[in-house]
Amino acid sequence: MSDINSVAGLSDLLKQSGASSGSSSAPVKLTETKTADVRLSDKMHEIDISKKEVFAQDVAARLKLRYVDLRKFPILPDSLALIPEEDARKYHAVPFFADDASARIGVVSIEDTEVQKYLGSVARDKKIKLIPYVISEESFEHAMHTYAALPKIINISREVTVSQADLDRFATAFNSLPELAAKIKDVNTTDFIALIFSAAFKMDASDIHIEAEEDKIVVRLRLDGVLNEIGDVPHEMWKKIIGRIKLLSGLKINVDDKPQDGRISLVLNLGKIDVRVSTIPTAFGESVVMRILRPQANTQLEQLGIRGTAFEALLREIERPNGMVITTGPTGSGKTTSLYTILKRKNQPGVKIITLEDPIEYNLEGINQSQIDQSKGYTYADALKSVLRQDPDICMVGEIRDLPTAEVAIQAALTGHLLLSTIHTNSASGAIPRFLSMGVKPFLLAPALNAIIGQRLIRKLCDVCKVVTPLTDAEKARATQVMSTLTPKAGISFSLDNAKFYTAPGCEACNKLGYKGRVGIYEIFTMTPAIEKLILTAQMSEFDIQKQAIDDGMVTMAQDGILKAAEGISSISEVFRVSE
C-alpha cells in the first residue's frame, strides 16, 4: 500500500469511527478526525521529503561533493545577484552564499553537462570561484522562494538592460515636474526605478537623490547643478526600493549601518550608460545618490566656453611637452570634463597617455586608465611612480590632495612629462598657496606650473522663453564693481551701459525652470615672471596672486560670467549665485 493510500485509508477509518458514536459527540469526533488526518498527511509528506534528501546525500557522496539542505541553511539575498532567476529556474541551480572570492551554488542535476557549462560561464564572467553543493528538488524549490520575496527588478545582474520601450513609455507619461510628481505616486515598485531613470534621461539630470525621511521617501533630481524635488512616495516602500537599488549596483542588501559604493551599467539603445551609486545611513533609513556618467565623446575644447586670450594661452600651454596644467573648483564644477577634453585633443597615435582616477568616470579609447584603490595601498603617489616607469608622454592624476602625490607630480612635470590634475580650491589663484601649504618647495613649484584653470558651471537661459530684462540697481552696482578690474591686457572691450541682459520665466521646453543646459565660466592664468617671483618669496597670499594675474590680463570667473550674461547665454543673477 502506498503512503497516500495509507493516509486515505486511515482517514476513512477515523471518519467511520466518528459516525458510529452518539449524535451529541459526533461533531467533536469529526473535528478531531480532520485534525488527525492533516497531521498524518503532513507526517507522510515529511517522510517523502526525507527520502529525497537521503537520495541527494547519496548523489553527493557518490560524486564526492558537498550536500546541503537549503530549508535549514540561511540564504543570503545579495548572493542571488550571481544568477538571474530565469537561469536559476532553467538550470536548477541557486547561489546561497557568496563573498568577494567565491560562491556556493546549490545544484539539483550537477551531472548535467549543460548545467556544468553554464556554471563555468558564470565563474568566468564574474571572475569568482564556484563551489557546487548537491541539493534536492524540494530544497531547490524552497530556495526559489527567496527570489520571489525580492522586489522584481529590471534584470538581476550587474549589467542591466533597460528597454528603450520602457523608458519611452514613461517619458511620454509626463511633461512637467508636477505631472512627474503625480506619476511617481501611481506606479508600483516594479516600475519605480525605470520611471526615475526615464525622468533623469528626459530632463538630462546629472544625479538622482532618493532620501528616506520620517514619513516619506523623497526623490530629487539635480538639473543643471540645482536639486529639484520631483515627488515622494510612502515610507512603507523603502525596503523594496533600497533592496532593488542595492541588487542592481552590487551592494550588500543586509548592510544599512555604513556607507557603500557600487555601480550600475545600463545598456540602452543609445549606448551603455554607467551609474555610480553611493549610500550612507541616515536617521530614517539611508540616503542614495546615483550619479549618471554620460560619455562626453563629442565634446571639443572649443565647446567648453573658454574664449579669447584665455583660450589661446591654454592652447599654448597644453602643446608644451612638459609642465603642469591644473584645474580647480568644487565638486561638480566640470573639472573632469575639462581634463578629459584636453586629453582627447592630445590623444594621437604617437602619444602615450596614462590616467590615474578614483573612480574612472568615462572610458576613453586609446588612453590607458588606471583605477586607484586606497584599500589595497594603490595610492595616487605610489601609482604615479609606477606610471612614470611606463614612459608616458602625458599623465593625468585625478586629484592632488597630499604632499607625496604633489612631489611626484612636480617631478614628473620637471622631467619631460605633461601632467594634468585637479586640486580643490575656490579659485585659480588659490592653487599656489594650497601647494605651498602641503609642503611643496617653491623653487620646484614655480618652474613646474604651466597654467591653472579656475572654473564653475552656470545654467544657460532657455532659448525659447528668455526675454530682455533690465538690471536692478543692486545688480548694476555689483556688475560695475566686478568689471572695474578688467584690464586692457585682457583684450576685451565691454560697456555695461550698452549691454543687454536677459531672464527667462519658464516654459514647457525648460520644465518651467527658465534654464536648460550649462556652460562653464573660467579664469585662467599662465606663469609669468611676476607670478614666479611671488611664488619664490613664499610669503604671498591668494589675494596677491589674484591681483598679479589680473594685472597680467586674466579675466576672472565673475567677469567671464557677466560677459556671457551680456550675450544672453545666462542671467546676471545666475552668474552671481555661482561665482561670488
Per-residue pLDDT of 404-451, as tens digits, reads 999 999 999 999 999 999 999 999 999 999 999 999 999 999 999 999
What pLDDT score was predicted for residue 14? 31
Written as nine digits, the cell of 458 is 552656470
Task: Give me the sheet containing 418-423, strands edge to edge.
Answer: 368-371, 353-357, 394-397, 418-423, 323-328, 449-461, 515-526
pLDDT in tens, 282-333: 999 999 999 988 765 457 888 888 988 889 999 999 999 999 999 999 888 9
Would you say how long the chain is, in residues? 580
Lowest mean pLDDT, pick from 209-223, 268-282, 471-485: 268-282
What pLDDT score was predicted for residue 508? 85
> Is residue 351 predicted with pLDDT exceeding 90?
yes
What pLDDT score was predicted for residue 441? 95
Written as nine digits, the cell of 297 is 565623446
**DSSP-assigned beta bridge partners for residue 397:** 356, 421
Looking at the whole model, is its pTM more than 0.85?
no
What pLDDT score was predicted for residue 8? 39
Look up residue 9 and give its DSSP letter.
H
What pLDDT score was predicted for residue 251? 84
Binned at pLDDT 50, 70 and 90, residue 465 comes out as: very high
pLDDT exceeding 70 applies to what percent of the chain? 86
Least Cα distance to 145 among 49, 80, 238 occurs for 80
What pLDDT score was predicted for residue 19? 36
pLDDT in tens, 222-254: 999 899 999 999 998 898 888 888 878 888 887
Instruction: Please compute the mean of the pLDDT values over residues 246-267 and round it to a whole number.
Output: 83
> Is residue 31 predicted with pLDDT exceeding 80?
no
> Which are the contacts of 543, defined by CB distance < 8 A and separation ≥ 6?
429
> Is residue 577 predicted with pLDDT exceeding 90?
yes
pLDDT in tens, 520-549: 999 999 999 999 999 998 778 899 999 999
What pLDDT score was predicted for residue 247? 79
Best-predicted range by mean pLDDT (6-20, 148-162, 347-361): 347-361
What pLDDT score was predicted for residue 388? 92
> Which are the contacts of 122, defined by CB distance < 8 A and separation ≥ 6?
82, 83, 128, 130
What pLDDT score was predicted for residue 15? 38
Q: For the residues of 517-563, what is the DSSP string, one character each?
A: EEEEEEEEEE--HHHHHHHHHT---HHHHHHHHHHTTPPPHHHHHHH
What pLDDT score was predicted for residue 269? 67
What pLDDT score was predicted for residue 165? 65
Least Cα distance to 560 among 549, 569, 551, 547 occurs for 569
What pLDDT score was predicted for residue 523? 95
Question: What is the H or E stretch that residue 218 is in?
Answer: strand 216-223
What is the spatial distance between Cα 132 and Cα 93, in angstroms, rounded to a whole number?
9
pLDDT in tens, 110-147: 888 889 888 988 888 777 888 999 999 888 988 888 77
> Is residue 573 predicted with pLDDT exceeding 60?
yes
Instruction: Please compute the mean of the pLDDT values over residues 261-266 and round it to a whole number.
Output: 82
What is the spatial distance between Cα 295 and Cα 314, in angstroms, rounded to a whole number?
24
What pLDDT score was predicted for residue 268? 72
Position 77, amino acid: P
Query: 352 or 163, which is more confident?
Result: 352
* Helix, strand counts (H, E) of the chain: 20, 20
Binned at pLDDT 50, 70 and 90, residue 164 comes out as: low
Contact 126, 81 (CB under 8 A): no
Binned at pLDDT 50, 70 and 90, residue 20 comes out as: very low
> Which are the contacts of 198, defined by CB distance < 8 A and separation ≥ 6?
166, 167, 169, 170, 171
Across the chain, what does the average pLDDT equal?
A: 84
Instruction: Please compute the mean of the pLDDT values over residues 375-393 and round it to a whole number.
Output: 90
Binned at pLDDT 50, 70 and 90, residue 53 comes out as: confident
Best-predicted range by mean pLDDT (63-77, 78-92, 285-299, 465-479): 465-479
Q: How many CB atoms lie within 10 A of CB 525?
A: 27
Lowest mean pLDDT, pick from 149-163, 200-214, 366-380, 425-439: 149-163
Q: Is 308 left (phi over 0), alpha (psi -120 to 50) or beta?
A: left
Best-predicted range by mean pLDDT (43-57, 107-121, 136-150, 206-220): 206-220
Query: 348 or 78, which is more confident?
Result: 348
> Is residue 552 predicted with pLDDT exceeding 60?
yes
What pLDDT score was predicted for residue 32? 44
Least Cα distance to 572 among 427, 455, 459 occurs for 459
Written as nine digits, the cell of 85 is 532567476
> Is residue 104 predicted with pLDDT exceeding 50?
yes
Position 179, amino acid: E
pLDDT exceeding 90 applies to what percent of the chain? 47
> Which are the contacts of 406, defined by CB distance < 8 A and separation ≥ 6?
400, 435, 438, 439, 440
Q: Is 366 left (phi over 0), alpha (psi -120 to 50) or beta?
A: left
Binned at pLDDT 50, 70 and 90, residue 43 comes out as: low
Residue position matching grid coordinates 469529526: 30
Binned at pLDDT 50, 70 and 90, residue 41 comes out as: low
Written as nine digits, the cell of 538 is 613664499
Best-predicted range by mean pLDDT (71-75, 194-198, 501-505): 501-505
Binned at pLDDT 50, 70 and 90, residue 181 comes out as: confident
> Is residue 574 predicted with pLDDT exceeding 80?
yes
163, 267, 150, 280 alpha-carbon torsion, rounded to 10°: -130
Least Cα distance to 96 among 111, 121, 78 occurs for 78
What is the spatial distance between Cα 179 and Cα 230, in angstroms, rounded to a whole number?
9
What is the spatial distance between Cα 140 and Cα 213, in angstroms, rounded to a whole number?
38
Look up residue 32 and give its DSSP letter.
H
Within 13 Å and on the Cβ side, how many CA atoms surround 539? 1
> Is residue 499 predicted with pLDDT exceeding 90?
yes
Question: What is the H or E stretch that residue 242 is in?
Answer: helix 238-249
What pLDDT score was predicted for residue 25? 38
Instruction: Please compute the mean of the pLDDT values over residues 165-179 and round it to a whole number.
Output: 73
